[in-house]
Amino acid sequence: AQSVSQHNHHVILSEAASLELGCNYSYGGTVNLFWYVQYPGQHLQLLLKYFSGDPLVKGIKGFEAEFIKSKFSFNLRKPSVQWSDTAEYFCAVTSPSGTYKYIFGTGTRLKVLA
């Protein structure tokens, strides 16, 4: 069965620090990959997605993620975080072969100190 692992459950950074959140998935076939963000009290919002092509994907708010197929990874990065990036981040995977459901990781709670 597919699964998604997010190894960092809680991350605390100071403003302007660089961010990298890990995401690994277990599925041998072709996958679509996503990062969602959930700001306090708000709904899940799509940050970025990867379906095919350039493995370096740029999303909203300065976030990017790199798909490394050999490592089954899709890590999220941001060069310089802001206080407003404080949120919970979820990695998710789907298979384009027809299993139209998201498999989410357990999430990483990021706190950025001003």
Partner 1 sequence: ETGVTQSPTHLIKTRGQQVTLRCSSQSGHNTVSWYQQALGQGPQFIFQYYREEENGRGNFPPRFSGLQFPNYSSELNVNALELDDSALYLCASSLGDRENYGYTFGSGTRLTVV
| Segment interacting with partner 1, rule: CB under 8 A, options 16-24, 62-70, 75-83, 88-96 | 88-96
Q: Strands, E, within the chain: which ranges?
A: 3-5, 10-14, 19-21, 24-26, 32-38, 45-50, 56-58, 64-68, 73-78, 87-95, 99-104, 108-113
Q: Segment 5-24, which members bind partner 1 (CB under 8 A)?
A: 6
Nearest to partner 1 of 80, 106 (CB atom): 106
Determine, following the binding rule CB under 8 A, whether residue 102 of this chain makes contact with partner 1. Answer: yes
Determine, following the binding rule CB under 8 A, whether residue 47 of this chain makes contact with partner 1. Answer: no
Determine, following the binding rule CB under 8 A, whether residue 27 of this chain makes contact with partner 1. Answer: no
Note the Cα 63 to chain centre separation in Å: 9
CA end-to-end span of the chain = 41
Nearest approach, Cβ of 94 to partner 1 (angstroms)?
5
Report the alpha-carbon distance of residue 87 to residue 69 in Å, rounded: 27
Determine, following the binding rule CB under 8 A, whether residue 81 of this chain makes contact with partner 1. Answer: no
Residue choice 19, 81, 103, 110 for contact with partner 1 (CB under 8 A): 103
